[in-house]
Structure 1
């Protein structure tokens, strides 16, 4: 299935669910928040599974197990949130760098600070990881929506890039992209992104204007 269709389907599902939330929550919870919960709930299960495998199964140290499981889960979270939830079209390089910095802060503050700290105090390490995960969920959603994918934040975290065929429709019907008004030069002529006639139609506009002028001269004053 094409990625664009998958993203639209995921967003449509999140919108459908949020519209049905009771107690006025539909007016408070945006689809991107629900999508974040779904995606990060899945990646959190991946995190716990890898943590259990590394620490209990392979007898790795707790700090190394937490680190490796955390890195794998958050890399997956970035890919899924960017493609399906926030549907960002900004360059991936700067976003990945910003996300890495956000994740490092999150790791030091919540994962090692809270997770390992609670485990050192005697809290069972799964429970410690769950408590730390609750704290990081709030932090990560805010960071992803308003910092990492800030190109979509003005649209509630669900920006959609207009398909190329929509832009072509504007050129065919002589409508200015964005405001839907006809071209002033020629109603049926194609228009470019600036709202002027497309280069291929300019000569037709000028020829028609000349033809109208010659007709007026031939008819003379009425």
Structure 2
């Protein structure tokens, strides 16, 4: 399975969760009571996949000369696919059926894409902001939205009876 190849064994997934939980326990100023380990895990995973997004954007736009909308879209879809797999496997450790999760995730990233990537990112680039800086500004907005969607919609825990 692709998730096993990317995320590794159950032991590695458990270690990732234990690592983020240990880091959260060490947060100062009472933040450990406010920050869930999944938020830190999301930040780590999505920081990595955002780097993948920017690297692909640079290759597609700067290296291959693709039009900006095509370069942004391609890099975005590849990075968000990786983000889904890693967050599902190691951060939220979801055991729910993957089909419905993918369907909800696709709706979420379509909304995210329209509002933040095209709306904020491309809009700022069209206003003259360098496209990498515009993409970073869009990423800040999308991070808040995507964490909320992944935690409370895509990978939500079903109430136990």
**TM-score exceeds 0.5:** yes
Q: 1:112 aligns with which of 100, 115, 118?
A: 118
Corresponding position: 1:142 with 2:127: no
Aligned partner of 1:92 in structure 2 is: 98
- Give the drift of 1:6: 1.1
Aligned partner of 1:32 in structure 2 is: 38
Aligned partner of 1:7 in structure 2 is: 13
Structure possessing the higher relative contact order (Cα contacts under 8 Å, 6 or more residues apart): 2
Gaps of 5+ in 2: none
Between Structure 1 and Structure 2, the one with more helix by share is 2
Look at both structures and tell me which one has the larger radius of gyration over its CA atoms.
1
- Distance (whole Å) between structure 2 residues aligned to residue 104 and residue 61 of structure 1: 20
- Give the drift of 1:4: 1.1
- Give the drift of 1:136: 0.1
- Distance (whole Å) between structure 2 residues aligned to residue 51 and residue 129 of structure 1: 10
Q: 1:69 aligns with which of 75, 83, 97?
A: 75
What does residue range 41-56 of structure 1 map to in structure 2 within 5 Å? Answer: 41-56=47-62
Residues 127-181 of structure 1, C-alpha deviations (whole Å, 9 max, x = no match): 00000000000000000000000126x7xxxxxxxxxxxxxxxxxxxxxxxxxxx
Corresponding position: 1:130 with 2:105: no
- Distance (whole Å) between structure 2 residues aligned to residue 108 and residue 15 of structure 1: 33
Consecutive aligned runs of 4 or more in structure 1 exceeding 3 Å deviation: none
- Distance (whole Å) between structure 2 residues aligned to residue 145 and residue 89 of structure 1: 14
- Give the drift of 1:3: 2.1
Aligned length: 153
Residues 194-219 of structure 1, C-alpha deviations (whole Å, 9 max, x = no match): xxxxxxxxxxxxxxxxxxxxxxxxxx
Aligned partner of 2:127 in structure 1 is: 121
- Distance (whole Å) between structure 2 residues aligned to residue 30 and residue 72 of structure 1: 27
- Give the drift of 1:30: 0.4
Aligned partner of 1:186 in structure 2 is: none
The SS at the match of 2:29 is: coil
- Distance (whole Å) between structure 2 residues aligned to residue 112 and residue 4 of structure 1: 37
Gaps of 5+ in 1: 155-222
Residues 30-66 of structure 1, C-alpha deviations (whole Å, 9 max, x = no match): 0000000000000000000000000000000000000
What does residue range 207-222 of structure 1 map to in structure 2 within 5 Å? Answer: none
